[in-house]
Amino acid sequence: MTDLDSHLREHYARALLSDARIGQILAAAPARATPPRVWYARLGSVAAALVVGLGVLHFHLVERDIAARVLAEVAMNHGKQLDVEIASGDVALVAAALDRLDIPLRPPGQWPARYALLGGRYCSIQGGLAAQLKLRDHETGDLHTLYATRLTSDLETVVDTATTYDDVGITFWRDGDVFFALAGGETPNAWPQDSD
């Protein structure tokens, strides 16, 4: 060890306060309390964070709830297999008979050769008037249901998806201001844009 090191050690050893002196200094210092305004600011920050967090959680739960309600409603309507009110394989005739709807009853493109239209009726999706078209799949013989309704702010939150709900395959998609759902035994593919 060098002389400098030993001198430094000696200096700091002498400069150390005794435990008694440290106790005296601490006892002489007044206790500092946090001012109330600091607590208010802290509590305000926590409250603001909670409000924002609960708002975000509520938005996501409501959005998921709407999708679940639409799935349940489409599955229930499809499962009922109600008779058609307009029995026709002609899309134009069914559309003319369902004249309370001011939307196209089918997505753009030609009617897919895979499906035969059996007819249609009115129904509702989330309280809005909708068309319910009954289709038969030529390949499998299965019945499918095509729904069309005006796209509302609630339905805008439902993402385009293909899923199964209560053993009913359901596909959702949008075209312009129209919301479509296709329901069947298996999850049907979205309506083909360019069909033969």
In the chain, where the domains are located: 1-196
Phi then psi for 128, rounded to 5 degrees?
Answer: -100, 145
Fold adopted by 1-196 = Phosphorylase Kinase; domain 1 (3.30.200)
> Which pLDDT score, from 0 to 100, does residue 122 have?
92
Distance (Å, rounded) from C-alpha 10 to C-alpha 16? Answer: 10
Q: Is 60 exceeded by the pLDDT of residue 152?
A: yes
If you average pLDDT over each of 31-35, 64-68, 152-156, which comes out highest? 152-156
> Which pLDDT score, from 0 to 100, does residue 120 have?
92
**In the chain, % of residues over pLDDT 90:** 6
Mean pLDDT over 157-165 rounds to 81
> Which pLDDT score, from 0 to 100, does residue 134 have?
93
What residues contact residue 179 under an 8 Å CB cut-off, 6+ apart? 125, 147, 148, 149, 150, 151, 152, 155, 158, 172
Mean pLDDT over 143-156 rounds to 88
pLDDT higher for 59 or 92? 92
What's the full length of the chain, in residues?
Answer: 196
> Which pLDDT score, from 0 to 100, does residue 194 have?
45
pLDDT tens-digit series, residues 90-135:
888 888 899 898 888 776 666 677 888 899 999 988 888 999 999 9
Please state whether the predicted TM-score (pTM) of the whole model is above 0.75: no
Q: Is 50 exceeded by the pLDDT of residue 171?
A: yes
Alpha helix (H) ranges present in 81-150?
91-97
> Which pLDDT score, from 0 to 100, does residue 196 have?
39
In the structure, what pLDDT confidence band is assigned to residue 61 with cuts at 50, 70 and 90?
low
Tokens coding 113 = 């050769």
